[in-house]
Amino acid sequence: MARYLVTGGAGFIGSHLASLLHRHGDDVVVIDNLSLGHRAALPPSVKLVVADLADRTAVNAAFASPRFDAVFHLASLSAVGDSMRDPLRYCRENLVCAMNVAEAAVAQGCLRFVVSSTASLFNPPTDGKPVDADARPDPQNAYGESKLMIERALAWAEQAHGLRYAALRFFNAAGCDPEGRLGEDHAPETHLIPLAIDATLDRRPPLSVFGTDYATRDGTAIRDYIHVSDIASAHLAVLERLERGSCRFNLGTGQGTTVLEILQSIRRVSGRDVPALMAPRRAGDPAVLVASSERFIAETGWQPRWRRLDDLIQTAWSWRLAHPGGYGG
Ligand code: UDP
């Protein structure tokens, strides 16, 4: 039985990962300040340390023996729009928290470190081609900048301390646990799919479509929506790859979907209209962000299970329908 630490393990992606590790029979410790995460998202036998990663004493205490076999660092501020309004907070919090966790891992002798990174690292090509793992990082928003700083700092820790790190640059995590236990519940919610589903259910105002004048097939921005369960399984796949050294991978489906195509998919799955209003572009949003996972697949053998957009949307729709108040009720 392996022993893992998952930071942000009560959050959207973190809870799917913690639950997968737990199902594998591993010993999982989650550290989460519950500012965005939910205790109810964790199996009762997973140990939850409620603490802020900015608090070094608390982080060091979570690393008390026995040693972890690996750390999955997922906790992060991650809203692009907020990062453009408050760039200094984004850079400070994301960097300081990641460095506190990495320092504690090194001090404990846990030298396998998987960090969530992001598509926002890149200034994507305007031709819409998938961004591959060798693309040069060039963040267009402060959130992406904060993740780039973390990746670069870890590379120095590799040189100095032999820390092996894997940076997984997710594109748009979406969907929910197909068994319906885990879902997407952010407060405030800023993500397209849960907002659009709630608008469809009359639980929120009509969705604002941010930007209808992009040079894309229908004028709205294109993203690569990857199922959160596939992201969780990618974390397991990368552990073995870490034995051969540090690595950085993009994780997406290679398929771009416009905002309007997401709304159409929700319409097909729900059989209902999706109330929407056209709105100006959101600061920091590129027109197209699509990832190539080819290198990741070639080097780890990982295979995404969720390939059809409507299947992905169905999981998100079912969870919101069954959990009108999210985890709260
Ligand atoms: N989006 C939108 N209306 C919203 C929220 C998002 O049109 O209320 C768009 C956003 O501009 C982007 C896409 O949906 O093009 C995905 O945004 P999200 O915030 O879900 O993820 P991000 O791409 O920022 O990580």
Tens-place pLDDT, residues 108-132: 999 999 999 998 999 988 777 899 8
State the average pLDDT for the chain. 95
Does 34 score more than 70 pLDDT?
A: yes
225 is catalytic: no
Mean pLDDT of the region 66-84: 95
Mean pLDDT of the region 176-198: 94
* The pLDDT of residue 83: 94
- CA angle 83-132-106, nearest 5°? 65
Q: Rounded CA gap, 233 and 259, in Å?
A: 26
Mean pLDDT of the region 15-42: 96
- As a whole-number percent, the residues of the chain with pLDDT over 90 amount to 88
- As a whole-number percent, the residues of the chain with pLDDT over 70 amount to 100
Query: Is the CB of residue 212 below 6 angstroms from any atom belonging to ligand 1?
Result: no
Query: Which fold, 192-223+255-328?
Result: UDP-galactose 4-epimerase; domain 1 (3.90.25)
Q: How far is the CA of 13 from the centre of ligand 1 (A)?
A: 17
3-173+227-251 maps to CATH 3.30.420.270: no
Does 236 score more than 80 pLDDT?
A: yes
Query: Is the CB of residue 204 below 6 angstroms from any atom belonging to ligand 1?
Result: no
Residue-range domain boundaries for the chain: 3-173+227-251, 192-223+255-328
**Pick from 28, 233, 61, 69: which is nearest to 164 by CA?**
69
257-258 vs 222-223, strand pairing mode: antiparallel
> Would you state the structure tokens that stand for residue 306, as one six-digit string?
């969720």
Helix H or strand E segment including 296: helix 294-300
Q: pTM, whole model, 2 decimals?
A: 0.96
Choice among 143, 165, 214, 225 that is catalytic: 143
Does 329 score more than 70 pLDDT?
A: no
3-class DSSP state of 328: helix
Which band of pLDDT confidence, cut at 50, 70 and 90, is reported for residue 46?
Answer: very high
Q: Rounded CA gap, 228 and 233, in Å?
A: 9
Q: How far is the CA of 281 from the centre of ligand 1 (A)?
A: 10
Helix H or strand E segment including 81: helix 80-85
Hey, which of 228, 282, 290 would you mutate to test ligand 1's pocket, going by the most ligand atoms within 8 Å of its Cβ?
282
Query: Is the CB of residue 195 below 6 angstroms from any atom belonging to ligand 1?
Result: yes
